[in-house]
């Protein structure tokens, strides 16, 4: 999960660097365009992920139920269930008649 976040962060940095070069904000003399061999601004992975969807809603719906978000949601629901079990057990013990 952390790997995917870090990869996305690095991809965001490369997009920012490319846009800064196009806008003239990065004026380093030897190479005004960062990553000169890239033909597009966005990372290829971003384009590939979007190209199989015709609507943004389907892209969002698929991404919400996949990858790290899926693991995070499953963990949240598992911890919620464990918390409910612990609370119910504590209530049971609290109201159990003394022997």
pLDDT in tens, 40-49: 888 888 778 7
Sign of CA dihedral 42, 46, 52, 53: negative
CA 53, CA 18: separation in Å to the nearest integer? 26
pLDDT in tens, 52-99: 888 878 877 887 788 878 888 899 999 999 999 999 999 999 998 877
Which parts of 24-66 fold into alpha helices (H)? 44-51, 56-64
What pTM, to 2 d.p., does this model score? 0.48
pLDDT in tens, 19-40: 877 777 766 665 567 777 888 8
Angle between helix 56-64 and 67-94 (nearest 10): 50
| 3-class DSSP state of 10 | helix
Give pLDDT, residue 27.
60
């Amino acid at each position: 999960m952390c790997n995917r976040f870090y990869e996305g962060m690095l991809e965001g940095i490369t997009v920012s660097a490319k846009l800064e070069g196009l806008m003239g904000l990065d004026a380093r003399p030897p190479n005004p365009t960062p990553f000169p061999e890239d033909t597009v601004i966005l990372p290829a992975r971003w384009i590939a992920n979007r190209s199989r969807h015709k609507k943004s809603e389907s892209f969002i719906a698929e991404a919400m139920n996949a990858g790290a978000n899926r693991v995070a949601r499953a963990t949240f629901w598992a911890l919620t269930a464990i918390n409910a079990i612990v609370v119910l057990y504590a209530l049971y013990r609290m109201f159990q008649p003394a022997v």
